[in-house]
Amino acid sequence: MRPPILRRLLRRVASVAALTLLAAHPVSAVAAPAAPAAAGLQQVTGFGSNPGNLQMFAYTPDNVAPGAPLVVALHGCTQSANAYYTNSGWTKYADLWGFDVVFPQTTSANNALSCFGWFDQAESTRGRGEAASVVQMVEYAKQTYGSDGRRVYVTGLSAGGGMTADLLAAYPDVFAGGSVASGLPAQCATSQAAAPGCQTGPQKLSPAQWGDKVRNSYPGWTGPWPRVAIWQGTADYTVYPANATALRDQWTDVWGIGQTPSSTQSLPGNTTRSVYEDASGQPAVETFSVSGMGHGLPVSPGSGADRCGSTAAYFLNTICSAYHTGVFWGLDKDAPGGGDGLPAPAGLKVTGVTDSSASLAWNAVEGAASYTVHRDGAKVATTASTSFTDTGLTAGTSYRYTVTAADSSGAAGAGSSAVTATTSGGTDPARCFTATNYAHVMAGRAHTSGGHAYANGSEQDMGLYNVFVTHTLRESPAGHFVIADSGCQAGSS
């Protein structure tokens, strides 16, 4: 075993080719990430023995009480904690929903491009290196801010996304959920030389083999497992979309559920959300495929409830990933007053739909003076009744609803389980294309990896990339293609 200082020095001078994640800028421009300048972001020292030589920065809103959730947000290569603080959108929801955020930072002292060492088992495994340093930051937050150890979440972009997956695998006892944006499956690479192969198309493993990489990261752990969101652009040629498929296979297998989604929904920014529910009907894994987006974190600047962040290098104006990830984790229910007091309304169900409305009903809660209805995590109405009809919706679209009860003082209780309502009507936007794999790739309906063609959106393996293999692809929604060789419901093109 090399001494840690020697090993880090060797990593600094190793081939940059193995560290292409987010490496569009010259090394000289990113070797020393700028110190955080915003007054709200504070550096924390003395958080532990820090075996991974990381820096800790934290954002702690004034209104956050002890016992609140904690989010750990990992930047990508060439970035800094301040860049993630400024652009990712997480601070908006920390203020709105009431939680603390820790922003770990690595530097060129660890890696020439300031990448987290997702590909290095000395940094990415339980009790070692950078992974151990991040967990020490979590422990510091629990002791200093009073963060709830049952509600700790981790998210990251690119190399930070790869480290996020590694942390979820190594520390399922620490993290209740995670979100991997343009990242890699847990333990995809265990050496620097193997890193580029993961980025451009990970090993062709079965879901069980991917799942074993998680199970072997903390032998003996039987659950509960973290709930995982996966964000990926279909036009990402730095971390190829095949990684999102591998991540889905990995975490659905860990949960013991299939790889067929329980439901799908079209979201803003040409985004398709696919939900994979656990045995109790709760979302365990969600994938967000952003059609046409390249390598980066999805943001959507604006003042709306579901708008966040600011555009910058690798912060791409499509959809607010922080909002949808936070709703998936239930952070919106953890807002001040959101988890105490009255119990969650039971029996929420969809009682009817039209092409522009959805009707809901639920059981009364003793002591409730009113009920608040949330659509896709955003408040849409308050009513004294135990039923509600949401109007002005789009035909042929799925919406997710939850309900909270409030007492006479206006204090809200816990949120109900979610239900999905799909409005009727609408036109099927599907189009079908029959062509060779080569032609599909040239037309932008598929992409290549390792000599094979993969359908954009679904990531289905179409076989060898050549002019001899022919498939029919069905497009629905726009930018999402599935193999439809057995028949397609739309006219062929």
Strand pairing report for 398-406 and 370-375: antiparallel
Q: Which residue has the tokens 């092409």?
A: 355
Closest Cα partner for 161 from 188, 134, 181?
181
Pair 235, 316: CB distance under 8 Å: no
Alpha-carbon distance of 289 to 86, in angstroms, equals 24
Q: Is 17 exposed, middle or buried (0-12, 13-18, 19+ CB in 10 A)?
A: exposed
Q: Which two tokens stand for residue 75?
A: 């930047």
Alpha-carbon distance of 380 to 422, in angstroms, equals 17
Spot the catalytic one: 158, 321, 416, 476: 158
Q: Is 321 a catalytic residue?
A: no
DSSP 8-state class, residue 194? G
Pair 181, 158: CB distance under 8 Å: yes
Helix 207-215 / helix 242-255 crossing angle, nearest 10 deg: 70
Q: Which two tokens stand for residue 229?
A: 């969101």
3-state secondary structure of 303: coil
Alpha helices in 184-320 (DSSP H): 195-199, 207-215, 242-255
φ, ψ of residue 131 in degrees (nearest 5)? -60, -45
Pair 287, 271: CB distance under 8 Å: no
Alpha-carbon distance of 20 to 29, in angstroms, equals 15
Q: What is the C-alpha R_g of the chain?
A: 23
Please list the active-site residues.
158
